Structure 1
Amino acid sequence: MEATELVQVFRGDLVESIHKGHIAVVDYKGRLHKYEGDPYRKVFARSSMKPLQAIPVVETGTADHFEFDDADLSLCCASHNAEKQHTERVLSILKRAGLDDHSLKCGTHPLRREDVFKELILEGKEVTPLYNNCSGKHSGMIATAKYMNEPVESYFELSHPVQQRILHTISEMADYPVKDIELGVDGCGVPVHALPLERIAYAYARMTRPERLDEQRGSAVKRITSAMMSAPEMVGGTDRFCTNFMRAVQGKMFGKAGAEAVYCIGDIQTGLGIAIKIEDGFGRATEPVAVEVLRQLNLLTDEELSKLVNHHKPTVLNARKKVVGELVPTFTLKDGKEL
């Protein structure tokens, strides 16, 4: 199956660009509910895997030992803005583990927000791994290695127990064999996992029903998803879709973006998991697709949809910040029974 047109990009009245992609909507029993494109396309879920990668932080006892609160756990699932609310909490986690930010092996990248970068310059500070959008995830991994008396220096390597626990957790949650998971290296240096989109959606669906998991796993999953929904500002930050989305739906759903245009959602009320991949990797299309999927599934109230209108049909701005176009979702979900 080929990618399906999902979004048209208008400049004035002309369709200037088209984004194609794939969608899988799966229930907690593993049934394909709705889809577009190829729901079985194998993809790297990138940072959308972070809620799954955080599970061992809780299961090993690390979170309890270092007294992680909801905001700490939410930050372990984050691709954050490097605002002070994020970096100060990363430093706090590391300090509780008896470490500092020199332990972070996530590297550096240009900061997401211009105001944060300007503030750093004015304070005479350099961009360090602390400001990497994945430093929250890495702090959870480092803390786990420290608590488990494992080498801290190599926590990011595939052979390390921290990464092996994550690999097997993802396999178990997605009900997909470890041997079939394709591995690569993520932008922050840790292993990244490729699975069929439908299996990723299933893992998210299972996170909505922690009571159906064994006691230890269910408790960890509930704690993580509850943390994301109660402290959504940690997952993204100011003006970020993950944060705005979870604030709008107020405890009904959790969601996480991934690089190269991936977005995943778990709906607590229905037990549905949603996984989206835009074929060309352009992340601007994930937000309108995600909101449109939820609209078509009748998972948003009119009030919630109104709060997300700027993500549902985002505008195209020119260099003078004038509106010159918009992104419009164009797909209609197909019934999984027809596949």
Structure 2
Amino acid sequence: MNHSKEPILVYRGDYIESTHQIHIAVMSAKGELVAYYGDPHRLTFARSSMKAFQALPVVESSAMEAYDLTERELSLFCASHIGELYHRDTVATVLNKLDLQESHLQCGTHIPRHQESYEQLIQEGGNLTPLFSNCSGKHAGMLAGCKKQGFPLDTYRDVTHPYQQQIIDAISDISGYPKGKIATSVDGCGVPVHRLPLDKVALLFARLASPGNWDTKNELRQHSLDRIRQAMVDYPEMVAGTKQFDTDLMRAFKGRLVAKGGAEAVHCFGDKETGLGVAIKVEDGNARGTRVTAMEVLHQLGIGDESIRNELEQYVEEAVLNARDEKIGKIITQFQLNFL
């Protein structure tokens, strides 16, 4: 029998082994808090969930046109990819269009989440390079925006760099949160990361999904948000990769939903039809709680039908597997959104 009141339960066999606390904010594009769970105003580093907004200066500077960049490449600028060959090749193509080298990427490197690519690299005796970084697309986009505007390339990671200031200005404008209140630190790939209340992050995604419902006179920004959203939903495989939640989620919703996860258990999405944006933060930073939470929020908001839910059933109740890939437990939710 389940006596726990925690919103996420992790079972091993028939027994609760762990629990997770969560915070959720649901916002309309007009800036109204529609529903919440936990603390919807929790100050949160949204981490890689901000990548769509970090790509705005690429579009607004006309770098896309100047370097003949494609919408598929724009999607990669918003990505936390797993390092599949097509991800790496696309970043290399962008660098070639910019007449830049891989050494210009300052994202560092790490073992890719795509196991087959890493195993092949080992077998061939190769070395990890920045192309394998899940943030290499974002950094390539930043280089494009900087080069088009004549900004220095060697310091593009600095928070005082004009490109990074353009990003903060855009985040403030879209979220309605004063620029002076946006705290910054350093993300895993070395660029600034932004700390906002969770409801403001949800508002960013509401306006990304449905910029036409945002009352602003900045038509370029509305158009740029719409273009970025369209690129992400048209090429969802670039945003994450094979068998990845964001890719599977956007593909299942066939252009209706734009979604992007972030490190330390952040997940955000926006719905084009309702104009709602959602931001989720698992308090302890364990990402295994984000997918089941996102699926339950979608269910409670009435977004998507039963066929979509069935297509994504592996994320509705996630399996806990042992080293033999046998199911020995499950991750489930038990929370109710508070509707306003």
**What is the TM-score of this pair, normalised by structure 2?**
0.96
* Residue of structure 1 equivalent to 2:75: 74
Q: Is the 8 A contact 2:111 2:132 kept in 1?
A: no
Q: Aligned with 2:324: secondary structure?
A: coil
* 1:317 match: 321
Residue of structure 1 equivalent to 2:206: 205
Pick from 269, 277, 282 the counterpart of residue 265 of structure 1. Answer: 269
* Aligned counterpart, 1:196: 197
- For the 8 Å contact 2:151–2:162, the answer to whether it is kept is yes
Structure 1 residue 321 displacement after superposition: 1.1
> Post-superposition shift, 1:148?
1.0
* Contact 2:7–2:22 under 8 Å retained in 1: yes
SS of the aligned residue for 1:109 comes to: coil
Q: Deviations over 1:103-160 (max 9, x none)?
A: 0001112221221101112233211111100000000001111111111111111111
Deviation by residue 1:141-184 (Cα, 9 ceiling, x = unmatched): 01111111111111111111111101111111111011101110
Structure 1 residue 306 displacement after superposition: 0.5
SS of equivalent to 2:184: strand
Match of 1:35 in 2: 36
Please name the residue that 1:95 is paired with.
96
Question: Does structure 1 conserve the Cα–Cα contact (< 8 Å) formed by 2:58 and 2:64?
Answer: yes
- 1-side partners of 2:184 and 2:319: how far apart? 36
Counterpart selection for 1:275 from 268, 272, 279: 279
Cα-to-partner distance string for 1:264-289 (whole Å, 9 max, x where unaligned)? 00100000000000000000110000
**Structure 1: runs of 5+ lacking an equivalent:** none
Partner in structure 2 of residue 12 of structure 1: 13
Write out aligned runs for 1:120-269 (5 A). Answer: 120-211=121-212, 212=214, 213=216, 214-269=218-273
Cα deviation, residue 73, structure 1: 0.6
CA distance in 2, matches of 1:5, 1:28: 30
CA distance in structure 2 between the aligned counterparts of 1:170 and 1:70, rounded to whole angstroms: 22
Residues 292 and 331, structure 2, Cα contact 8 Å, conserved in 1: yes
Question: Distance in 1 between the 2:24 and 2:6 partners?
Answer: 11
- Structure 2 counterpart of 1:70, which letter? E
Q: Aligned equivalents of 2:61 and 2:126: distance in 1?
A: 35
What's the CA shift for 1:312?
1.2
Amino acid at match of 2:245: F
Q: How many residues align?
A: 333
Secondary structure of residue in 2 paired with 1:17 = strand
* Residue type at the aligned position of 2:47: R
Distance in 1 separating the partners of 2:33 and 2:14: 36
- Shift of the alpha carbon at 1:328? 0.4
Aligned alpha-carbon RMSD (Å):
1.0
Displaced runs of 4 or more, over 3 A: none
- Name the amino acid aligned to 2:110: H
- With normalisation by structure 1, the TM-score equals 0.96
User: What per-residue deviation string (whole Å, max 9, x for no partner) do you get for residues 12-45 of structure 1?
Assistant: 1111110101000000111111100000000000
SS in 2 for 1:5: coil
> Partner amino acid for 2:67?
F
CA distance in 2, matches of 1:210, 1:35: 22
